[in-house]
Amino acid sequence: MLKKTSADLDSLRLLEERLRWLSAWTIHNANHLRPSPDGLKVGGHQASCASMTAIMAALYFHALGPNDKVAVKPHAGPVLHAIHYLLGSQSREQLENFRGFGGMQSYPSRTKDKIPVDFSTGSVGLGVAVTAFASLVQDYLLAHAMMPPEEAGRMVALMGDAELDEGNIYECLIEAYKHDIRNCWWIVDYNRQSLDATTAERMFSRFDEIFASCGWRVVTLKYGKPLEAAFAEQGGAALKRWIDECGNADYAALTYLGGGAWRERLLKDAPETKPVLDARDDEALAALMTNLGGHDMATLVEAFDSAQDDVPTLFIAYTIKGYGLPFAGHKDNHAGLMNPGQIATLREKMGIAEGEEWAPWAGLGGNAAEAVRALAENSRIARTKRERPWRQVDVPAVPVPTGEEQSTQAAFGRILLDLSRAGGGLADRIVTSSPDVTVSTNLGAWVNQRGLFRRQELADVFAAAKIPSAQKWGGHQAGQHIELGIAENNLFLMLAALGLAGDLFGTRLFPIGTVYDPFIARGLDALNYACYQDARFLLVATPSGVTLGPEGGAHQSINPPLIALGQPGLRHYEPAFVDELALLMEEAFRLIQAPDGESVYLRLTTRSIAQVERPDDSWKAGAVAGGYWLREPAPGAEAALVYSGALAPEALVAWEALKDDVPGLGLLAITSPDFLHRGWSESQRWRWKAPPRDGEGDRSPKANGGGGPSHAEALLAPLSPTAGLVTLLDGAPASLSWLGGVRGHRISPLGVERFGQTGTLGDLYREYRLDVNAIVEAAAELFLD
């Protein structure tokens, strides 16, 4: 960290001006200069960038070290790219192609931007909350000696004040307090304007209390140094009192109106301020009244320097939205764009010659340019993307639990227990987490073996008191389970942070999160956010469907298979049998650390079913690819039953009942509707388009090098073109009904499209047409038609 000198602060101020100009010019170029063949507004947020430039200059060119990680406010993305442009790690071509195909993204993106982006942002609030969970992951790695202490850093979130309306902020705050997180800064750009409104000021009188009660230090940066000096002048106390009592909307409007309006209003409301006003002309008065803490470099540097311990800290930095731009303070400036005349005026004001708009140090004199360049070059932040660590652990064969009748949920717990007992690199890098459903999702035995993770020792009070309990959970630094409260959003943010451990800290983990299947939807935004960043994890959702029986409709899932069908970066498997589960868990561990891998979602069940005997291992490749024939159809067969997951027993019984009446009847096991559909879609694309360039497209395998039949087409090829399919799934039937379009087969889809209710399996399967009679009737209907 540089020593504070007057020259350093001057250079930081000049760097801040460069960031304001380059971010504004980048957006202007995209909207006014670059050809627009479709005529659509490109957009961008010049005002939101301008309110952040001083904060980001102080951070990136002063406060941050090489191990610090930052989640940048979505609308300040152009400022981040401008920083890397000044550092030489971003190209002019990328800036010129802002929001264009292949150019810098609208909002910072880990996977799509060329510069190092620690956390993707865009869905507001999530980029803030994930930094707290990343702090917890860093503590986990330090406690397990998986990263050197000297490589530890601080997790920083830059947020707009409107993001504090997001509920996930407070869910995260509670969890962070439980786990005693540290080394985390949240910096609020308190410009007091959102998209539609001015921020309600009464809440900012409460944030101190909310955060302080959760163990955070709160640092409010309201006034800049010149404004604080003015408070010491004659009339200054009255000025301070007036500012503190002024509403946010009034302050914004007066900022837009300028010095004359400030003077008139102050003389009317607080005539005691006249000595302060008389000492300044209108321009100087406007500069004074907008000299807030979030724009004052000396204030920012001093605040960051004073928080160098590991206490989590909330900085509330008062700013002006659109600071330094012609629409500063205007209520419509959120998506406002400077017109050509306004940008030309700004360029002239900054001394930038026409044609030198992209020059990094344009408008600076020789000595000043040299000092600013030197300060930028000495910035300690990472300038290149960390190489992603792949295949760090050998994945052993996952053991298959024995037993004639088993449920996939119970078998999942036994598999983890067996892995724990066997030990080794995989078991030592597994980290489990659950939102208060650890026991009911069969993680209890794993936790008994591996313990809860706590930075401070947590005694098992019941065990110490010799009270019998199946759960023997002590908390300690060697623990490998992170227990969360009932907030699914936090689970997915936890999985996102754990799944990025390799990218952020150089050590890949194998995160496993368990959740009730219907409640995936409660954290869906965070799940999508995790996948968008290419975080790698295994999500185990159980129990699923109306098969849950007496638990009733509130706990019975319908649409998660459809969610998975449309979610990039997440492969859905729904095993029926325990040997399928073991195979697919092994595949999930492989995918977590494969360059072309992804996260995996297992949809499991509490239903105990009879296991099938296998004559050989030929089924395994098909199960991984999405499906295989449990009973092979005869060539040219006119019908097949198709099932997925818990309804395997009904499908088998129906097959036995129909096989004599329907010669050559096949029984097709679908282990992944999602992956099977992806392969089919991609094969269609490859037949008509050139293959995607490196780094583009999804990760599904290229069928026969591209353009050949997909696995779904190959599976259905033995059937007659006029064959009928009966599909069966304890979930939305559309998850499998698309199979009718692969080769034009007739289809009769069975599944659940209404909310469930309590009852026995027999009652529910009859009511929702999932029983053997329904399958037989659906097959008969196909032939009658």
What angle, rounded to 10 degrees, do the helices at 248-257 and 259-269 form?
130
Question: Distance (Å, rounded) from C-alpha 197 to C-alpha 292?
Answer: 20
Residue 702: pLDDT band (50, 70, 90) is very low
pLDDT at 151: 95
Task: Give residue-wise pLDDT tens across range 532-565.
Answer: 999 999 999 998 899 988 888 888 999 999 999 9
Question: Distance (Å, rounded) from C-alpha 352 to C-alpha 48?
Answer: 22
For the beta carbon of residue 536, count every other beta carbon within 10 angstroms: 31
Asked whether the bond before 543 is cis by omega within 30 degrees of 0, the reply is: yes
CA dihedral 14, 20, 25, 30 (to 10 degrees): 150
Question: Distance (Å, rounded) from C-alpha 16 to C-alpha 18?
Answer: 5
What angle, rounded to 10 degrees, do the helices at 772-784 and 648-658 form?
50
DSSP string for 728-768: EESS-THHHHTTHHHH--EEEEE---S---S--HHHHHHHT
Task: Give residue-wise pLDDT tens across range 320-375.
Answer: 999 999 999 998 888 899 999 999 999 999 999 999 999 999 999 888 999 999 99
What value does the mean pLDDT of the chain take?
Answer: 93
Residues 6+ apart with CB under 8 A from 548: 555, 556, 605, 606, 756
Asked whether the bond before 108 is cis by omega within 30 degrees of 0, the reply is: no
pLDDT at 4: 64
Q: What is the mean pLDDT of residues 641-653?
A: 97
H helix runs in 574-647, sequence order: 578-592, 619-625
Are the C-beta atoms of 508 and 429 separated by less than 8 Å?
yes
Rounded to 5°, the CA angle 455-461-467 comes to: 150
Question: Distance (Å, rounded) from C-alpha 48 to C-alpha 160?
Answer: 8
Task: Give residue-wise pLDDT tens across range 406-443.
Answer: 999 999 999 999 999 999 999 999 999 999 999 999 99
Question: Distance (Å, rounded) from C-alpha 93 to C-alpha 82?
Answer: 12
Report whether pLDDT(197) > 80. Answer: no
Task: Give residue-wise pLDDT tens across range 266-300.
Answer: 999 999 999 999 999 999 999 999 999 999 999 99
Are the C-beta atoms of 463 and 543 separated by less than 8 Å?
no
pLDDT at 785: 58
Q: Report the length, in residues, of the chain.
A: 785
Token pair of 282 as six digits: 């209108």
Q: Which residue has the tokens 């069908």?
A: 565
Q: Please, what is the end-to-end C-alpha distance for the chain in angstroms?
A: 78
Task: Give residue-wise pLDDT tens across range 468-500.
Answer: 888 888 889 999 999 999 999 999 999 999 999
Compute the Cα dihedral for 739, 740, 741, 744 and give only its sign. Answer: positive
Q: Which of 611, 579, 648, 584 has the alpha carbon at shortest distance from 403?
A: 611
Q: What is the mean pLDDT of residues 710-727?
A: 96
Strand 719-729 and strand 746-750: pairing? Answer: parallel
Are the C-beta atoms of 576 and 411 separated by less than 8 Å?
no
Are the C-beta atoms of 30 and 98 separated by less than 8 Å?
yes
Strand 666-670 and strand 637-644: pairing? Answer: parallel
Task: Give residue-wise pLDDT tens across range 212-270.
Answer: 999 999 999 999 999 999 999 999 999 999 999 998 889 999 999 999 999 999 999 99
Token pair of 651 as six digits: 């499908």
**CA Rg value for the chain:** 30
Q: Which of left, alpha, beta for 194 (phi over 0: left; psi -120 to 50: alpha)?
A: beta
Burial (0-12, 13-18, 19+ Cβ within 10 Å), 208: middle
Q: Which residue has the tokens 């960043």?
A: 533
Report whether pLDDT(704) > 50. Answer: no
Q: What is the largest CA-CA distance in the chain?
A: 102
> Structure pTM?
0.94
Q: Which of 248, 172, 249 has the alpha carbon at shortest distance from 205?
A: 248
Q: Which residue has the tokens 């159980």?
A: 542
Are the C-beta atoms of 49 and 20 separated by less than 8 Å?
yes
Residue 700: pLDDT band (50, 70, 90) is very low
Q: Which residue has the tokens 């239903």?
A: 607
Residue 459: pLDDT band (50, 70, 90) is confident
Q: What is the mean pLDDT of residues 629-654?
A: 97
Report whether pLDDT(698) > 80. Answer: no
Token pair of 744 as six digits: 């034009």
Q: What is the mean pLDDT of residues 103-112?
A: 95
* Residue 63 DSSP one-character state: I
Are the C-beta atoms of 502 and 389 separated by less than 8 Å?
yes
Q: Which of left, alpha, beta for 668 (phi over 0: left; psi -120 to 50: alpha)?
A: beta
pLDDT at 457: 87
pLDDT at 701: 44
Report whether pLDDT(644) > 70. Answer: yes
Are the C-beta atoms of 28 and 20 separated by less than 8 Å?
no
Cα 707 from chain centre: 33
pLDDT at 466: 80
Q: What is the mean pLDDT of residues 90-110?
A: 96
Q: What is the mean pLDDT of residues 590-594?
A: 97
Residues 6+ apart with CB under 8 A from 710: 676, 679, 680, 682, 683, 703, 742
Residue 705: pLDDT band (50, 70, 90) is very low
